Structure 1
Amino acid sequence: MLFTLGVNHKSAPVGIRERVVFSPDRMDEALTGLIRSTPVEEAAILSTCNRTEIYFRSEAHQPTDRVLHWLADFHRLKPGEIQPYIYRHSEAEAVKHLLRVACGLDSLVLGEPQILGQLKGSYQSAGAAGTLGRQLGRLFQHAFSVAKNVRTSTAIGSSPVSVAFAAVSLARQIWGDMKPLTALMIGAGETIELAARHLHSNQIGRIIVANRTVERAKTLASEFDAEVITLSEIPARLAEADILISSTASPLPILGKGAVERALKARKRRPMFMVDIAVPRDIEPEVGSLDNVFLYTVDDLEEVIQENLQSRREAARQAEEIIDSQVSTFMGWLRAQSAVSTICAFRDKAHTVQLEVLEKANQMVAAGKSPEEALSFLAHTLTNKLLHDPCHTMNEAAREGRLELVDAAHALFKLPSPTDKPHS
């Protein structure tokens, strides 16, 4: 059976989500540990600022309890600390959940495309760790296909709405004209790149990119004529920032209250607008208590985002219809897998009978029998051998009152109903 277990922006606040994040450098360890420590045969983990989800296959009884305990142990938590925020899905509901996630229908920003790339990263990580088997692998590929279908056949992605877009929209509402402003971008990932792109299109005066890896920051900065600094230079340059957007993978805050207080003093109390998109948070929450600081987290952006969603809602309804249909398609494939071994065994048996009878027919021809006689023998004997076991089993089933097997044979062999009369 297939399962999903996780937390997201709807079920848990950022303070909980940041405690169960899987860093990229520990993903392989997590996946192999999950397989080793629980009755899970296949697994993949998706971990972003808005969600941590474990997709897995298991034939054990109630495996989600074991997986929940593993999740808590891995992050040095007690299961009771995260239990109230956890959701669980199984079989068709688990399939539907993954398809909705892939299409951006479960995102903070309805229809946002970044989640699909993050899912593909999860798929690749699970493949590299050796934890992706036939069923889960097929489910992810199906999800990618459905997401592409939804993108091309609906208007779900027609409006430029994302966490990055919402952050810049809010900055524009607060500041108005952006030409005189300086933006400090901390990090160099996809969300920061999107935010920088939106700032650039809004004619921001200057962009500074701070990142642990300078080379990665230079690649991003070259697109927007931005200046590059290291993370250690932030305190000295912080006072220049009218707008600050941060999204790194740091496990600890990189910007504290003291540094911001000194920057505000140097700015002569001119306001600073900050958006902390990271989970765990990059900016200490106490910074938000300072006068002249407008600090927003990903949770705070939801109200801004709602204002930009109307054009996507009809598209989302169309997408839900597509997903419902595709859930049925995948579940049909999944149910068919249980018959694969039986079909293969049946074909192998028929092939063995075919070879035996063909060999005897060839011997008849070699012994001087006519081809017509050999063909008649081949047809008669092959038919009798193939039909003997099914006919015998149906006869025994009828004697024992197991008429459901006889009814199944009608469907299996596409036989006419006993009441049907042959046409004259």
Structure 2
Amino acid sequence: MSLLALGVNHNSAPLEIREKVAFTESRLEEALREGCARSGASELVILSTCNRTELFVAYDGDVDCVALGHWLARFHGLAWDDLAPYCYQHVDLEAVRHLTRVGAGLDSMVLGEPQILGQIKTAYAQAQQLNVVGSQLNQMFDSCFTVVKQIRTETAIGANPVSVAFAAVSLSKRIFSRLDRSNALLIGAGETIELVARHLRENGIANMTIANRTLSRSESLAAEVGARSVSLDAIAEELVAADIVISSTAAPIAILGKGAVEAALRRRKHKPIFMVDIAVPRDIEPQVAELSDVYLYTVDDLKEIVEENKRSRQSEAVSAEQLVEQGVLSFEQKQREYRAVDTVKALRSHADDIRQSELQRALKLLARGDQPEVVLESLARSLTNKLLHAPSANLKRASAAGRDEVIPLADELFALGEYKSLDSENT
């Protein structure tokens, strides 16, 4: 069995590439089933966020990075040659290390951000529901969750959590010195927008409106953060009063175009609008940035704020990396233990067969009236002889063949050191 992590992220690929290989919620089930069938993988988890698309795979045989990469490109209507330069791959322990670093926020645009762990858990749960994960990925993800929990407990890398949502609000504060005089329009109602809404409220935003396709979800969030709730159909009208627009939906195509923004600007008498598009694929058409009264930013534009965060958390990251390495070593040790499981099971089955056979023979002797003491002594002697016959014979053959390395292994397996010492003293 082999493990593989293959994907793109904010370090390896620009936004226009990342959005092309993002998996939408509506096609995730199809992708999980097809990915296993077409790439030869026996287990598969797909992690798709605004900053990364990654496939975590287990193979029964050798890793086949090429087949998996070709499937990823083909699923999104791309040529592998066009996608390959932006992809990275990690095999076996490197894949375990990579997943753990991602879960701990060590590979995130915002160092130590906590959201990614929840996204990994969701991706893992979705794959479990479709029965496309087994023992190998179960062990890999369990190891990740254990180590990340330890990192969060023993280091301060997650103290004062900073996320892309926080970075977006921080940028808003740089543009508008007083948020208590600004109106915000938030598009979407997922975890990221929820964080944005809470940060804006903490910073005293004057008015906040949440637009979402599912009105019940936006109404629930709006009630929690003191905002208004509207449907996506109302966006064009809401733009007229919006000074700040932050969008993060799972829509497969842009939901806010240049024409709608232009019309809103005319009604606003060209009062500027600050926009942040956190979604991948993008929610706001890139052409909106061409409008002179619009300041449009994407996730990749938040890097300055992110770099400030990295510097403040770098010392904690060193401790977190050490815990990651300990986790990888622990995973490797457990894998070595698992490799002995089949042999241990076979050994126990063999011993149990001998036990059953000898027990039946002893019971028959007792039933015909033989002395219990004699039967028990015969049972013990026969069990000992039969259990040790094959190991004894094989040890002699190995020694005769010059395979001297087998002798100390046998000493270790059967803990014979003490007995050999006693034999030497009595000689």
Q: Single out whichever of 250-259 and 4-13 deviates more from structure 2.
A: 250-259
Q: Aligned-pair distance for 1:8? A: 0.6
CA distance in 2, matches of 1:401, 1:418: 23
CA distance in 1, matches of 2:379, 2:61: 49
Q: Single out whichever of 49-58 and 288-297 deviates more from structure 2.
A: 288-297
Q: Does 1:207 align with 2:241?
A: no
Q: Give SS of 1:120's match.
A: helix
2:337 matched residue in structure 1: 336
1:318 matched residue in structure 2: 319
Q: Aligned-pair distance for 1:78? A: 0.3
Q: Aligned-pair distance for 1:52? A: 0.6
Alpha-carbon contact 2:3-2:63 (below 8 Å) kept: no
- The CA RMSD over aligned residues, in Å, is 1.8
Q: Does 1:221 align with 2:222?
A: yes
Q: Single out whichever of 339-348 and 58-67 deviates more from structure 2.
A: 58-67
Q: Does 1:387 align with 2:379?
A: no
Question: Structure 1 residues 62, 134: CA separation in 2 closer, same or farther (over 3 Å shift)?
Answer: closer
Q: Aligned-pair distance for 1:368? A: 3.8
Alpha-carbon contact 1:159-1:312 (below 8 Å) kept: no
Q: Give SS of 1:183's match.
A: strand
- State how 1:12-411 maps to structure 2 within 5 Å: 12-411=13-412
Aligned length: 424
1:9 matched residue in structure 2: 10
CA distance in 2, matches of 1:401, 1:29: 58
Alpha-carbon contact 2:4-2:63 (below 8 Å) kept: no
CA distance in 2, matches of 1:343, 1:388: 18
Alpha-carbon contact 2:24-2:251 (below 8 Å) kept: no
Q: Single out whichever of 21-30 and 223-232 deviates more from structure 2.
A: 223-232
Q: Give SS of 2:167's match.
A: helix
CA distance in 2, matches of 1:38, 1:252: 27
Q: Give SS of 1:307's match.
A: helix
CA distance in 2, matches of 1:65, 1:413: 46
Please tell me the residue identity of whatever aligns with 1:238.
Answer: L
CA distance in 1, matches of 2:333, 2:199: 43
* TM-score, structure 1 normalization: 0.96
CA distance in 1, matches of 2:134, 2:330: 19
CA deviation vs aligned residue, 1:252-311 (integer Å, no higher than 9, x gap): 111122222222222222221110000001111122222232211111101112213344
Q: Give SS of 2:405's match.
A: helix
CA deviation vs aligned residue, 1:383-416 (integer Å, no higher than 9, x gap): 1111100111111122223333334323322332
CA distance in 1, matches of 2:61, 2:386: 40
CA distance in 2, matches of 1:329, 1:200: 43
Alpha-carbon contact 2:6-2:90 (below 8 Å) kept: yes
Q: Aligned-pair distance for 1:365? A: 3.4
Q: Give SS of 1:402's match.
A: coil
CA distance in 2, matches of 1:117, 1:265: 41
CA distance in 2, matches of 1:66, 1:312: 38
Please tell me the residue identity of whatever aligns with 1:146.
Answer: V
Alpha-carbon contact 1:39-1:60 (below 8 Å) kept: no
Q: Aligned-pair distance for 1:241? A: 0.9
Q: Give SS of 2:360's match.
A: helix
Alpha-carbon contact 1:159-1:311 (below 8 Å) kept: no
Q: Aligned-pair distance for 1:62? A: 4.0
Q: Give SS of 1:245's match.
A: strand
CA distance in 2, matches of 1:104, 1:272: 32
Alpha-carbon contact 1:161-1:309 (below 8 Å) kept: no
Q: Give SS of 1:2's match.
A: strand
Q: Give SS of 2:296's match.
A: strand
Please tell me the residue identity of whatever aligns with 1:183.
Answer: A
Please tell me the residue identity of whatever aligns with 1:378.
Answer: L
CA distance in 2, matches of 1:30, 1:151: 32
Which ranges in structure 2 are unaligned for 5 or more consecutive residues? none
Q: Aligned-pair distance for 1:382? A: 1.0
